Amino acid sequence: MSESLPSTAMPVSRLIEEFSKLPGVGPKSAQRLTYYLLRASQEDAQALAQAILEVKEKIILCSICQNITDSDPCAICNNDQRDRGIICVVEEPLDILALERTGSYRGMYHVLHGVISPMDGIGPDDLKIRELLARLKSDEVREVIMATNPNLEGEATSMYLTRLISPLGLKVTRLARGLPMGADLEYADNVTLARALEGRQEV
Ligand SMILES: [Zn+2]
């Protein structure tokens, strides 16, 4: 990977290489970030390094919904104003942020941490499905909303889960079709996402 920059000092090329590993960061951006940090103050560099370390040290998964959190249970699971009868199943923690931004959902969540994708060697056992099924044993739950992304893997995962959950006698719904096929929940605008929630249909 490292297109060696022979004239570059070792620590500099090392930082460029580390930045290049980040999603969406190409070699050019990695160089730009590195040279930005070279000029930044000691404090700013320290703050960045500290923030990176803290995210690894302090962030855990909520033992109930599997969302990332620094306290267990997370703030949403701990909030007794929320409706424990509805669980919205999402792929990633960022999807929760998107749904919370709509301000129109007051139920609970469950984060799968991925989707079933045979091509990438990801099967049901690699996701937080067992944890979800354990939660559904509680009498409190009435409805499960499938809010996986509207793409091939998201649909397949939703169908797989629906087959598992329907026999339990729970209502299973899917976000309405307002979302464009192939889209990412994370990037959907608030209005579209709120409509998709309201218009969810039983599957
Ligand atoms: Zn939680």
pLDDT single digits (tens) 75-132: 999 999 999 999 999 999 999 999 999 898 999 999 999 999 988 899 999 999 999 9
The answer to whether 58 touches 115, Cβ cutoff 8 Å, is no
Residue 157 burial class via C-beta count within 10 angstroms: exposed 0-12, middle 13-18, buried 19 and up: buried
CA of 190 relative to ligand 1 center, distance in Å:
22
Give the position of tokens 């990412």: 184
pLDDT bracket for residue 6 (50, 70, 90): low
Is 60 exceeded by the pLDDT of residue 1? no
Q: Which residues pair with 86 in a beta bridge?
A: 143
pLDDT value at position 186? 78
pLDDT value at position 177? 67
CA of 76 relative to ligand 1 center, distance in Å:
6
d(CA 101, CA 164): 30
CA of 105 relative to ligand 1 center, distance in Å:
15
CA of 65 relative to ligand 1 center, distance in Å:
4
pTM for this predicted structure: 0.74
